[in-house]
Chain A
Amino acid sequence: MKKTIVAVAIAAVLPWSAASRADTDIDALRAEFDQKFKVLQADYAARLKALENRLETAEIKADHAQQEAAANTGPAPAAANAFNPELSLILQGAYLDRAGGERPITGFIPAGGHADEGRGFTLNETELVLASNIDPYSRGLLILAVADEEVEVEEAWFQTLRLGQGFTVKGGRFLSGIGYQNEKHPHFWDFADNNLMYSALFGGGLKQDGLQLRWLAPTELFLELGAEVAKGQFFPGSDGGADKNGAAAWAAFAHVGGDVGVSHAWRAGASYLRASPREREAFLDDRNDFEALTNFSGASKTWLADFVWKWSPNGNPRQRNFIFAAEYFDREEDGDLLCEDGTAAGGACTGLLDRYASAQSGGYAQAVYQFMPRWRIGTRYDRLNSGSVDLGANQAFFDVTDFDPSRWSLMTDYSPSEFSRFRLQFARDKSFQDDPDNQIILQYILSIGPHAAHKF
């Protein structure tokens, strides 16, 4: 409306001006008028647009409100359902071609766990994961590993969300924060089996029943410190040691990390674990090739160092990426070992209780390269150093070995989607003295449920 009035007014004024001024003036005026008119027009268009947008925003708000209202008026069971935890299921299985029988890592006290998975077609543990925020202050998670006739609680913990100042507390049963591989569940491993280091140290991953405190520093560089106190019933601890008030295991770790440019990211860490096993049972092959039952009581101290380097072009791992990881450990155990009297059954031990001290080390290095979408190849080298083992008077019943277990593994995996992976792995396993083995594993890992957000 205003526009027309202005236009009419200007049009009315124009003839007089034309009479008194030269044609050039008129042209200039016209140009000026046109320009102003255009500015005015643009201004109005913009305002109109803004109004339209605001109107639509209001509509969207109303829309959201309506949807929320609709959700609220839904049938009661559905509304209760909405609070169901995130539920996911990991299906894992494999075909293994390898030597049969028990093949403990020579020179190391067997840590138990899942070292012996049989051969042929095998169904690995099926994992059931339930997780949810409990309230605004904490989150809970349960992971059950289901196998024949057993259900194992892999993890069951709560974690604080709002302590602030960089602090997080986790309580319950959780995978210890020591090392790098330890917190990874089998479905997220880069190889079909665990590395020898973790098999020797913990028989898999170290679970802790206890409390964990983590603190993240408010710095540009990633710096995380953590400490754990735990019951300590899992190897290298034992049920005997855990049967007490207080904690029979504690751990501390520090991680640093950052980026180098946009394409590289790294993390390095150092960890320490102390456990106090009492009467920790283990079977050791004695001089007569008899499985002697031993009992260890004492202190177990482990140092771990870990390093991870990841690369992807421009930091976009979707097409190609590369991961290098290496870890090293040094474990010292000091205490007394009882080798039970096995003479009646043909064993060598006579039931002596004497000093036991060991200092052992080892590690692994692995590299995995995704060379095109869906496809990855990887290689891993494991090596353990059986170090020095002092059995005191019991030394007479055991053969001394300076065998260093080692293994080369090669794998390739194919992932049709984020939720499925098929893997072929070859390994030259020299972890069992005098009987090297060539192993072939064909494995599948499938996950059902929400996106898993995996740690670095």
Chain B
Amino acid sequence: MKSLIAFILAASVLAAPAARAALDVLACEPEWMALTQELAGDLAEVSAATTALQDPHRIQARPSLLAKARRADLLVCTGAELESGWLPLLHREAGNGNIQPGRPGYFEAARFVRLIDRPAALDRAMGDIHAAGNPHLHLDPRNIARVADGLTKRLGELDPANAARYAERNADFQSRWSAAIARWEQQATGLRGVPVVAHHKNLGYLADWLGLQVVGELEPKPGMEPTASHLAELLETLRATPARMVLRAAYESPKASEWLASRANIPAVELPYTVGGSAGAGDLFGLFDDTLNRLKPAAP
């Protein structure tokens, strides 16, 4: 018995360095943290630079983020200019050569996805538009599956010793994910063609996937705060073409959507938007389960 205890102790001491997470991953957004956790499990130590309650456009390169970026082996970000207000500083000021754009330590999800809303012309008079297209790509679960394949490959490149395990975990994730997609699509059949109003252009992929019809946005131009005159106009439009719900992300202020919803007599619904945005959105599966639950009442 004693020798067994001694053996376990010795083994645990010896195993301790090996048990230390192989990769230090900093995800720019919670959805990529959740995805990395699905794919890497305890092979990586993952943290997120932002939470679901923070607008990913408007984050500051806080000292704590620089400290995290300094230690990261891999940055997993959306790209497509979503993080252009703060990520460049993490690249430049963290003194970490591995996470520079173009190196294996920097992963951009947008590279694996077909972006929608690619502007035909670039003019700031149109608001805070992204030249590469709409970057809020994770709300179409099929995009998550694509990004997962790309991320698995990248994890394997950075940590070749465990490449097979990443691939294994991805295969497992993909099969659970496609089953879940089938289930969600089944649940959401009633939502096809349902008209809704969104706060920002960040629900475009969700709408495309489910066939929701976004008839208006609370922001007069992307990234600009809702104004009274724009909301009044929108209310007028809704009189002619009514919508079923006013949707907003968890990080967006409820004021504008509640104002419009109460006057248009339709519910204002807060969607988790990303992992952690609601009690139910504990992981990627929960994110879509909860999103669909909240959308369900909109189906006729």
CB distance from B141 to the nearest CB of A (A): 10
Q: Give the residues from 322 to 344 in chain A that come closer than 8 angstroms, CB to CB, to chain B.
A: none
Which of B89, B95, B146, B251 meets A166, CB within 8 Å? B95
A265 within 8 A of B: yes
Cβ B95 vs Cβ A57 within 8 A: no
> Could you tell me the distance between the alpha carbons of A257 and B182 in the complex, rounded to whole angstroms?
47
Residues on A with beta carbons closer than 8 Å to the beta carbon of B53: 262, 314-316
Q: Give the residues from 399 to 456 in chain A that come closer than 8 angstroms, CB to CB, to chain B.
A: 416-419, 448, 450-456
Number of A-B contacts (CB under 8 A): 157
Cβ B89 vs Cβ A220 within 8 A: no
Residues on A with beta carbons closer than 8 Å to the beta carbon of B54: 314-316
Which of B51, B63, B70, B86 meets A265, CB within 8 Å? B63
Which of B67, B128, B253 meets A216, CB within 8 Å? B67
Cβ B61 vs Cβ A161 within 8 A: no
Which of A11-19, A41-49, A299-307, A348-356 lies at the interface with chain B? Answer: A41-49
A59: nearest residue on chain B (CB-CB)?
Answer: B114
A46-B175, A317-B58 are contacts. A214–B223 as well, Cβ < 8 Å? no
Query: Which residue among B53, B64, B81, B146 has the maximum number of chain A CB atoms within 10 Å of its CB?
Result: B64
Which of B60, B103, B113, B224 meets A456, CB within 8 Å? B60
A53-B146, A165-B95 are contacts. A46–B179 as well, Cβ < 8 Å? yes
> Could you tell me the distance between the alpha carbons of A56 and B147 in the complex, rounded to whole angstroms?
12
Cβ B113 vs Cβ A60 within 8 A: yes
Cβ B223 vs Cβ A418 within 8 A: yes
Residues on A with beta carbons closer than 8 Å to the beta carbon of B111: 64
Contact with B along A157-179 (1 / 0, CB 8 A): 00101111111100000000000
Residues on B with beta carbons closer than 8 Å to the beta carbon of A453: 61, 84-89
A60-B113, A60-B146, A159-B92 are contacts. A255–B178 as well, Cβ < 8 Å? no
Cβ B112 vs Cβ A214 within 8 A: no
B141: nearest residue on chain A (CB-CB)?
Answer: A53
CB distance from B256 to the nearest CB of A (A): 10
Which of A45, A265, A452 meets B60, CB within 8 Å? A265
Residues on B with beta carbons closer than 8 Å to the beta carbon of A60: 112-114, 146
A287 within 8 A of B: no
Q: Give the residues from 227 to 273 in chain B that come closer than 8 angstroms, CB to CB, to chain A.
A: 251, 253
Cβ A49 vs Cβ B55 within 8 A: no
A50-B174, A265-B62, A317-B58 are contacts. A42–B86 as well, Cβ < 8 Å? no
Residues on B with beta carbons closer than 8 Å to the beta carbon of A42: 179, 182
> Could you tell me the distance between the alpha carbons of A166 and B67 in the complex, rounded to whole angstroms?
10
Cβ B58 vs Cβ A316 within 8 A: yes
Residues on B with beta carbons closer than 8 Å to the beta carbon of A217: 67, 70
CB distance from A97 to the nearest CB of B (A): 31
Q: Give the residues from 138 to 158 in chain B that come closer than 8 angstroms, CB to CB, to chain A.
A: 142, 145-146, 149
A415: nearest residue on chain B (CB-CB)?
Answer: B225
Contact with B along A241-282 (1 / 0, CB 8 A): 000000000000001111100100111000000000000000
> Could you tell me the distance between the alpha carbons of A166 and B71 in the complex, rounded to whole angstroms?
9
CB distance from B191 to the nearest CB of A (A): 18
A98 within 8 A of B: no
CB distance from B150 to the nearest CB of A (A): 9
- Closest 9 interchain pairs by CB? A257-B63, A162-B97, A222-B63, A166-B95, A164-B97, A314-B53, A222-B67, A373-B225, A49-B178
Q: A46-B179, A57-B146, A136-B102 are in contact. List 16 more A-B contacts (CB 8 A).
A: A42-B182, A50-B178, A53-B145, A60-B113, A161-B92, A161-B100, A164-B96, A218-B70, A220-B67, A257-B62, A262-B51, A265-B63, A265-B64, A315-B53, A316-B53, A319-B253
Binding site for B on A (CB under 8 A): 42, 45-47, 49-50, 53, 56-57, 60, 63-64, 136, 139, 159, 161-168, 214-224, 255-259, 262, 265-267, 310, 314-319, 373-374, 416-419, 448, 450-456
Question: Can you list 13 pairs linking A and B with CB atoms under 8 Å apart?
Answer: A46-B175, A46-B182, A47-B178, A53-B146, A60-B112, A136-B102, A161-B97, A257-B64, A262-B51, A265-B60, A314-B54, A316-B55, A456-B62
